[in-house]
Structure 1
Amino acid sequence: MEIGQNMRKNILVALVMGIIVWGLSDTRGFSQGEKTKLVWKGCGISRRAFMVECAQAYEKKTGVHIELIGGGATLGIRATCAGDADMGGTSRPCLSDLFPEQESGGYLTIVAWDAICFITHPANPVDGITTKQARDILTGKITNWKQIGGPDRRIVLIYRIQTEKEKFSGVGYMTREFLFGDPSVDFAEKALYFRDTGLVERNVENIESSFAADGVSSARKRRVKILALDGIACTKENIITGNYPFFRPLYLITRGKPTGELKKFLDWILSDEAQAIISAQGTVNLKEGEGLKEKFKLWEHTDLILNY
């Protein structure tokens, strides 16, 4: 009987050890990057422009699911740097000099080109504005469409909630840099405020006298009028040539240099297959925008851009 009990104990120990070894083996596989899901957080413009289509294509090709969570460029940067996401989408650079605790440790990969544009309701007869008029509208010096050749209607400014943090959203930061060369400039307070760019776009669709800054890669998928700037339409062709002035890179950010499944995805999104998907969605891909790198004047910390 004692021998039988010992045998049962030995079998039980062996089973337990086997389960532990299997569990450790499985955990080690995930730590080396053998994931079946990657989490992306960030820029709603990148998400609407091409990330949905790219995520679907990658999952179909590899079986790896890309979970897309919006919330803005700042969230994308900070969640990734904090380890709360595998990667982020951002339309502005990391500002580690201003926010060392929140935005340090990230590496950027340029995946496409976008442009800051200005949008209004399709029924608005105004088709274009000047750079000076854009400045004056956003700072409250121009308040009526009749001041720039439109109908006698108050301009309804629409943008994200204007806090210190939102000045550093992808659209907010780059608009201020392009128009004023100063990301701390205050926009006019009399406006409608929303928590994300998607809601800004939706309200521009519904309010005839509206005005907002946006990213064209997302705006072109909405029912809005994209205003010409200084007589130049914000088309894909004018972004590619650099004739439209407010072009900017779109990035993926990783915490440190990517490895494992994350690196596989980044390698894929830079491939001809993925870049063709980006272009098909109306966004300027890397090959199309290869001449923009030298023309773009707002590069920061290029040592942290993996494909600069």
Structure 2
Amino acid sequence: MKKVIGLLTAVGMMTAPLAQAETVTVSGSTSVAHVMEVLAERYQQSTGKNVEVQSTGSSAGIRAAKDGTSMIGMSSRNIKPNELTPKTQKIVIARDGIAAAVNKANPVSNLTQEQISKIYRGEIKNWKEVGGEARPIVVVTRENGSGTRGAFEDIMKLQRVVNGHKVTAIAATAQVGNGNGMIKTIVANNPYAIGYISLGSVDDSLRALSVNNVKPTDANIAAGDYQIARPFIALIDQDTPQNAKLFIDFIMSKDGQRIVAEEGYIRVQ
């Protein structure tokens, strides 16, 4: 009997790693995770293969792909050359706009990029300066390491150089929210707040502003007219297991890209 138990234990120990190996692990950007979770669910339904998606932030996702702790990394910001290895492959799976969003009670419907930058720098502090009520602006930003924040700072020129290093130019008084969900909650509950979130995460709890008189729509982003936009990137190592590569193939397929569009993002093919 002991021999049988020992044999079963040994078999279990041998098959456990195989079961884990069959699961595709994905981690990184909370913005990309929004659509990646849907893609993973549809992929599992059609193939029976497991995909685990974790929202850890773009910087963490890039590191995970680089050091092999995840089969696939996710980033919603551009990636620096020193963050990759020669074996790392970058695949743009979708494109997304970043919406400057306000409370639905706010009468302001359009801002210029310059006005938004000045608001985040703390140079414009009251809504009356941009056509709103005479109320202080409550500035809300994402946490450090967020791909959305990184892309927003880059596009809006919200960085400065100190002692040879780039640092944020966003006012220290800005409130910080972790993830699109928290930004939405803060803005939806404060009529004088402004935040920025993935366009695909915008819902009827708040209102996305036009920027430079251009609405944040898929068509305007695809045409290049709406300027606050960024790629959604999947990162894999060339030695990544085949099951992870098959999941990427699904994402880039006609069915996968249709799901991308259904979730409010812009397909890349």
Q: Give the shorter-chain TM-score range.
A: 0.7 to 0.9
Q: Deviations over 1:181-230 (max 9, x none)?
A: 84633201112122333212221111111111222122x24621111000
Report the Cα distance in structure 2 between the residues aligned to 1:109 and 1:221, rounded to whole angstroms.
28
Report the Cα distance in structure 2 between the residues aligned to 1:22 and 1:282, rounded to whole angstroms.
43
Report the Cα distance in structure 2 between the residues aligned to 1:181 and 1:252, rounded to whole angstroms.
25
In structure 2, what is the equivalent of residue 71 of structure 1? Answer: 56
- SS across alignment from 1:107: strand
Report the Cα distance in structure 2 between the residues aligned to 1:17 and 1:223, rounded to whole angstroms.
57
- Decide which of 65, 75, 78 is 1:90's aligned counterpart: 75
Q: Report the Cα offset of residue 19 of structure 1.
A: 8.2
In structure 1, what is the equivalent of residue 176 of structure 2? Answer: 193
C-alpha contact 1:71 1:196 (8 A) present in aligned 2: no
In structure 1, what is the equivalent of residue 45 of structure 2? Answer: 60
User: Which amino acid in structure 2 is aligned with residue 241 of structure 1?
Assistant: A
Between 1:82-91 and 1:152-161, the stretch displaced more is: 82-91
C-alpha contact 1:54 1:269 (8 A) present in aligned 2: yes
Report the Cα distance in structure 1 between the residues aligned to 2:226 and 2:18, rounded to whole angstroms.
47
Q: Deviations over 1:79-115 (max 9, x none)?
A: 2323222212210133243xx5xx5463221100002
In structure 1, what is the equivalent of residue 26 of structure 2? Answer: 40
Higher gyration radius (CA) = 1
- Decide which of 102, 109, 116 is 2:91's aligned counterpart: 109
Q: Deviations over 1:101-132 (max 9, x none)?
A: xx546322110000222111111110010011
Report the Cα distance in structure 2 between the residues aligned to 1:258 and 1:145, rounded to whole angstroms.
50
C-alpha contact 2:113 2:211 (8 A) present in aligned 1: yes
C-alpha contact 1:41 1:70 (8 A) present in aligned 2: yes
Unaligned 5+ runs, structure 1: 1-11, 288-308
In structure 2, what is the equivalent of residue 171 of structure 1? Answer: 148
Q: Deviations over 1:121-167 (max 9, x none)?
A: 11111001001101100000001110000011111011134xxxx1x
Q: Deviations over 1:226-245 (max 9, x none)?
A: 11000000011111211111
Q: Report the Cα offset of residue 22 of structure 1.
A: 9.1
By percentage of residues, which structure has more strand?
A: 2
> Alpha carbons of 1:143 and 1:93: their partners in 2 closer, same or farther (altered >3 Å)?
same
Q: Report the Cα offset of residue 259 of structure 1.
A: 3.3
User: Which amino acid in structure 1 is aligned with residue 64 of structure 2?
Assistant: A
C-alpha contact 2:158 2:170 (8 A) present in aligned 1: no
> Alpha carbons of 1:222 and 1:51: their partners in 2 closer, same or farther (altered >3 Å)?
farther
Query: Normalising to structure 1: TM-score of the pair?
Result: 0.76
- Decide which of 198, 202, 210 is 2:193's aligned counterpart: 210
C-alpha contact 1:114 1:284 (8 A) present in aligned 2: yes
Between 1:205-214 and 1:142-151, the stretch displaced more is: 205-214
User: Which amino acid in structure 1 is aligned with residue 258 of structure 2?
Assistant: A
In structure 2, what is the equivalent of residue 238 of structure 1? Answer: 220
- SS across alignment from 2:98: strand
C-alpha contact 1:40 1:68 (8 A) present in aligned 2: yes
In structure 1, what is the equivalent of residue 101 of structure 2? Answer: 119
Q: Report the Cα offset of residue 284 of structure 1.
A: 0.6
RMSD (Å), alpha carbons: 2.7
The alignment status of 1:136 with 2:122, answered yes or no, reads no
Query: Normalising to structure 2: TM-score of the pair?
Result: 0.86
> Alpha carbons of 1:20 and 1:123: their partners in 2 closer, same or farther (altered >3 Å)?
same
